[in-house]
A and B are shown apart, each in its own frame.
Chain A
Amino acid sequence: MTNNAVAAVADRYRQPMTLGNAVLDIHPIAMVAGITALIVVGLASAGWIVPLAVSALFVGIAYLAGRGPSYLVTILKLWIAVGLILFALRALLVKGETVLVPLGPIAITREGIENGLRFTTAVMVICGGVTLFFAIVSMRRLMLALERIGVSPRVSYVILASFQAITDLGATARVVLDAQKARGIETEGNVFVRARAFFPVLAPVFLTAMTATEERAIALDARAFNNPGRHTSLLNLKPLTAVDTVLVVLSLVVAAAAVTGGILGWF
């Protein structure tokens, strides 16, 4: 890469951060407000149609943000792994008057189905909102926004370093596991055989990671990590824009209306 290319990279850091998409560029805090308000709407409703509609809206937002397909995969997996089981268990086990399908000792009742739909869509609207938030807002951006409102950079460090440590440690563990296999240590076979593979793989890998914290601490200290003064940041996260502010206010209004409506039984 030429010096010009470096200058271009440098220039990008001078500009306010943009991900080139209006939804992605919404300030993380406004995003928290917006998604929370939608979840509240879903939960305030007594039925299952509203939460289901909100869940669908989440998918729509993900598509607007350009993260549609991957979000859809995540959320469908959740619907299958969590939603379906929650629904099936309730439909089967919640006792009711109106028997739809008798199944020996238990029976599927209308009450069970209604209860199941209600509970499942409520849980799923929360799942949908949380996963949407993290599909749209990167951890780095979120932490940057939190640092702006006074959260300590140490908190950021712990969160961001955790993700990296999971990646690094996972990779090392797999390398060691493969090496064990190559050396003929059994990782298949019965439970005890497999369990015996677990210890020698993991204990040394974990120990090395722990020991490395010593040098990490020195390295971070050399980067003024313990400097008491105000920290600045290279990434230029736009402060709340007018759009963001409107979104926050709107969210508050919508959430308040939904709670009132829920109490008064509007929907």
Chain B
Amino acid sequence: MASSRFATFMRGYGRLTIFMIPIGIAINFVGGQIALLLKLPVYLDSIGTILVGATCGGLPGALVGLISNGINSITSPPTFAFAILNVAFGLLAGYFGRIGVFRTWWKTLLSVLPFAFIGGFCGALITIWVFDGLAVGGGAIVVGALTAMGMDLNTANFAAQLPMDVLDKVPTVLIVYAIIKGIPKRLLVKLPLGRVYLGQPNPRAKKPVATTATQP
């Protein structure tokens, strides 16, 4: 059954992961809300996805993205069409986390490009496929204006969304970097990708025999 496979997966991913996912989701929401409150011209609503991806792995990150969009869809169903983007952010953050991208600030900054590519380029593609290029959201008016000025509809979508996503992902990955820097070691040791950030291999890596194997 799917659910039991899910349960096995959650266990395999370490026991803290299941508690980190709701926090990641809340971080997505609160980041977005505060950005609105401070009237910042960026969404900042994928910090949690990337953070959980970077510290717990791609699948937990993807789940954070999926559920965040799912919850948003309760009041704004069209959001769900874009869930795949948030899922992709999580998976990519997991991969980047694993190869140590978030350990150095400049690599972290470089990761903006692929994230913005997913958000901007793939986001535009979804708009074009699902909504025939006429979706709603921050960029819709811009897209409308660009087309009115004679730009091709598809081009207008890319032109509107890519820069917006770059602008959004720079502070997003920076805050993820800052948070990871601040995670205490005692927590990092319990996160699936924590060893990446702990640097040297754990001098006391001796795991008790029963740790992972027997936890039902």
Contacts and interface: CB of A to CB of B under 8 A. Distances in A.
Q: So, do A and B actually touch in the complex, CB under 8 Å?
A: yes
Interface string B74-103: 111110000000000000000000000000
A226 B18 contact: no
Nearest to B74: A134
Q: Which of B73, B77, B147 has the most CB of A within 10 A?
A: B77
Q: Which of B29, B30, B35 has the most CB of A within 10 A?
A: B30
B16 interface: yes
Contacts of A209: 23, 26-27
A79 B130 CA distance: 18
Contacts of A249: none
B178 to A, nearest CB: 5
Nearest to B131: A86
Nearest to B23: A209
Given A162-B26, A206-B179, A217-B15, A78 B38 contact: no
Interface stretch (B112-120, B180-188, B203-211): B180-188
Contacts of A201: 34
A210 B136 contact: no
A19 interface: no
A106 B148 contact: yes
B110 interface: no
B3 interface: yes
B175 A202 contact: yes
Contacts of B190: 214
Nearest to A77: B75
Contact of A177 (B21, B34, B135, B178): B34
A159 B21 CA distance: 9
A142 B187 CA distance: 33
B67 interface: yes
Nearest to B2: A151
A127 B27 CA distance: 25
A207 B31 contact: no
Contact of B75 (A92, A131, A191, A210): A131
A220 B132 CA distance: 47
Q: Which of A78, A194, A213 has the most CB of B within 10 A?
A: A213
Contact of A199 (B75, B175, B186): B175
A203 to B, nearest CB: 5
Contacts of B73: 130
A227 B214 CA distance: 11
Contact of A127 (B3, B51, B77, B144): B77
Contacts, number: 169
A169 B27 contact: yes
A247 B51 CA distance: 43
Contacts of A36: none
B214 to A, nearest CB: 10
Contact of B44 (A168, A170, A198): A198
B38 A226 contact: no
B114 to A, nearest CB: 23
B140 A210 contact: no
B148 A214 contact: no
Nearest to A160: B22
A134 B75 CA distance: 8
A123 interface: yes
Contact of A82 (B30, B76, B144): B76
Contacts of A1: none
A121 to B, nearest CB: 14
B184 A211 contact: yes
A70 to B, nearest CB: 11
B19 A213 contact: yes
Nearest to B150: A105
A155 B6 contact: yes
B136 A86 contact: yes
A157 interface: yes
Interface string A183-208: 00001000100110111011111110
B198 interface: no
Interface string B147-179: 110100100000000000000000100010011
Given A131-B77, A162-B25, A206-B27, 18 more contacts: A86-B134, A90-B134, A92-B144, A93-B144, A93-B147, A130-B74, A131-B75, A150-B4, A154-B18, A158-B18, A158-B22, A159-B67, A162-B67, A165-B25, A165-B26, A170-B26, A177-B37, A195-B40
